A = this chain, B = another copy of it.
Amino acid sequence: MFYISIVRHNKDEPIYKQIYRWFQQEILSGRLSADTPLPSKRSLAQTLSVSQNSVLAAYMQLNTEGYIYTIERKGYFVERLEPLSLGASPLLALPESTPQPSYEYIYSFSHMSVDASRFPFKQWYKSEQAATEANRRSWADIDPPAGSQRLRTAISYSVRQMRGVTCQPEQIIIGASTQVLLQQLTQLLGPDRSYALENPGYQRIRQMLEQNGERTELLSVDNQGLQTEALQQQKTINTVIVTPSHQMPVGAIMPISRRIQLLNWCYEQTGRYVIEDDYDSEFRYEGDMIPALQSLDHHGRVIYMGTYSKSLLPGLRISYMVLPPDLLDLFHQKCAHLMQTASSLHQQTLAHFIENGEYRKHIRRMSRHYGEVREHLIYEIQDIFGKKAVIQGEKSGLHFLLHVQTHETLPSILHRAALNGLELYGLDRFMKYPKQAPPTLVIGFALLEKEYVSKAVEVLYHSCFP
């Protein structure tokens, strides 16, 4: 007979489970060999002084999982199993993660953040309530690959008003991030692609493309954005990814002459496309908004990409692209199997938030706030740095460049800043091959409070000129 040690009144493991687990381990370890008969329910229950129901429940579970088999009127027998290699411990050793130096930041010039403390959570949750009540039934399913129809309609109006982008709701494809959408887009554009990227530029896009095996070429950027003339030399390029409204990270606004050059390059050969990454141009401080490149394109060669990461919250994970009609057809053929990546709840909430005017209100409010911080910041930098620093690309968005005339190296500046509680990044992280040059800093101001501007600039100055 078997000896099974039963712990009574064990809250974590009822008696049937203890019996089950004992047999499971005996069978897996091979101590109970194939075709061994199990004791009858009655006799085991008696031996262990437990109820027959406990034994029955254990046997049923062992049978369901295939540890034992049953022959009618004869009882249960141990299943014939290959031996399984069991390790010493089910908890494997984790690799030692490279320790990240962690600093306590007091001020931040991060270009990756937004000011979430001013996000109208109350209005957002009101829209969420309205969306929940309006759509209770629809939460049972997932949104289609292109996204919620209601949100696509809301975006098509909003992006026309705010960015001059002309499109129908059907052209809008929603996804969790620009990266996810770009991944889908590379599928649509097919394998014979060579992507031109801005240098300096957004490295996560380049890394993703390269990891997917796509060919990439780097094109230089100056104070007018991407140098479009270079496209005439690089004959293999047929797709350009560009940030014309506020170059990332240089901040340049691409003038109309280059925009026309870019579009004409596109029209010269079939199959050429421009992907316009319009990541933060909702915020503009001098003059009117700069219309999107897409608004000039009447031939369906510009793919516009927008996001709510900067204008609302990055954590919502809602971006979109506007596909030209010919790619739209291909999308429905090639991407029908892809699951929508953006939250349905957030999509419906955002649709309400745009429809009831809260989105525009938020943009107006934040433009004013960011504008004030920016003005104060530029004033302080000019006051303290004088001729030792030059600001570039400050006309819109949430960051600008600061070229500093110092003999200090970029790493030493960043290190000193971090030690003094200042989060700070350099231009080098936007380059595939960072070059040695007078240090250029990327100054984001979304996380900076007005009252800390002077102090932060002071720390910045002493990091550059110790």
Query: Which A residues contact B (CB, under 8 angstroms)?
Result: 17, 20, 27-28, 57, 60-61, 64-67, 79-95, 97-98, 110, 112-117, 119, 121, 125, 128-129, 132, 136-143, 166, 168, 170-171, 176-180, 183, 187, 203-204, 207-208, 211, 224, 253-258, 260-261, 263-264, 267, 286-288, 290-291, 295-296, 298-300, 309, 313-317, 324-326, 328-329, 332, 334, 337-346, 395, 446-447
| B residues near A183, Cβ cutoff 8 Å | 183
Q: Give, as a whole number of angstroms, the nearest-CB distance from A312 to chain B.
A: 10
Give Cα A27–Cα B81 distance, bound, in whole angstroms.
82
Q: Give, as a whole number of angstroms, the nearest-CB distance from A139 to chain B.
A: 4
Give Cα A57–Cα B81 distance, bound, in whole angstroms.
83
Give Cα A176–Cα B142 distance, bound, in whole angstroms.
12
A85 touches B267 (CB 8 A): yes
B140 touches A447 (CB 8 A): yes
B346 touches A343 (CB 8 A): yes
B91 touches A166 (CB 8 A): yes
A94 touches B64 (CB 8 A): no
- Copy count, this protein chain: 2
B141 touches A113 (CB 8 A): yes
B64 touches A286 (CB 8 A): yes
| B residues near A98, Cβ cutoff 8 Å | 332
A326 touches B140 (CB 8 A): no
A91 touches B168 (CB 8 A): yes
Q: Give, as a whole number of angstroms, the nearest-CB distance from A144 to chain B.
A: 11
- Highest count of chain B CB atoms <10 Å: which of A57, A82, A328: A82
Give Cα A349–Cα B75 distance, bound, in whole angstroms.
49
B253 touches A287 (CB 8 A): no
Q: Given A176-B176, A298-B87, is A315 in contact with B139 using a C-beta cutoff of 8 Å?
A: yes
Give Cα A15–Cα B253 distance, bound, in whole angstroms.
24
Closest to A90 in B: B166
B81 touches A260 (CB 8 A): yes
A263 touches B140 (CB 8 A): no
Q: Given A87-B298, A121-B132, A139-B313, is A61 in contact with B94 using a C-beta cutoff of 8 Å?
A: no
* Residue in contact with A325 in the complex, picked from B80, B93, B168, CB distance below 8 Å: B93
Q: Give, as a whole number of angstroms, the nearest-CB distance from A69 to chain B.
A: 9
Q: Give, as a whole number of angstroms, the nearest-CB distance from A387 to chain B.
A: 22
Give Cα A334–Cα B139 distance, bound, in whole angstroms.
35
| B residues near A253, Cβ cutoff 8 Å | 64-65
Give Cα A67–Cα B128 distance, bound, in whole angstroms.
43
B288 touches A208 (CB 8 A): no
Give Cα A196–Cα B465 distance, bound, in whole angstroms.
60
| B residues near A203, Cβ cutoff 8 Å | 337
Q: Given A65-B256, A94-B325, is A314 in contact with B171 using a C-beta cutoff of 8 Å?
A: no
Q: Given A176-B317, A256-B79, A298-B87, is A94 in contact with B170 using a C-beta cutoff of 8 Å?
A: yes
Closest to A210 in B: B337
A337 touches B204 (CB 8 A): yes
- Beyond A91-B168, A116-B137, A316-B344, list 19 extra A-B contacts (CB 8 Å): A64-B253, A66-B257, A67-B256, A81-B257, A81-B260, A82-B261, A84-B263, A85-B267, A86-B298, A90-B166, A93-B325, A95-B325, A121-B132, A139-B314, A143-B315, A177-B339, A187-B211, A211-B334, A313-B344
Give Cα A286–Cα B57 distance, bound, in whole angstroms.
10
Give Cα A83–Cα B339 distance, bound, in whole angstroms.
42
Closest to A256 in B: B66
B287 touches A61 (CB 8 A): yes
A317 touches B288 (CB 8 A): no
A-B contact pairs, 12 of them (CB 8 A): A64-B287, A66-B258, A90-B295, A93-B325, A97-B332, A176-B317, A177-B341, A180-B339, A204-B339, A313-B344, A313-B345, A315-B343
B85 touches A264 (CB 8 A): yes
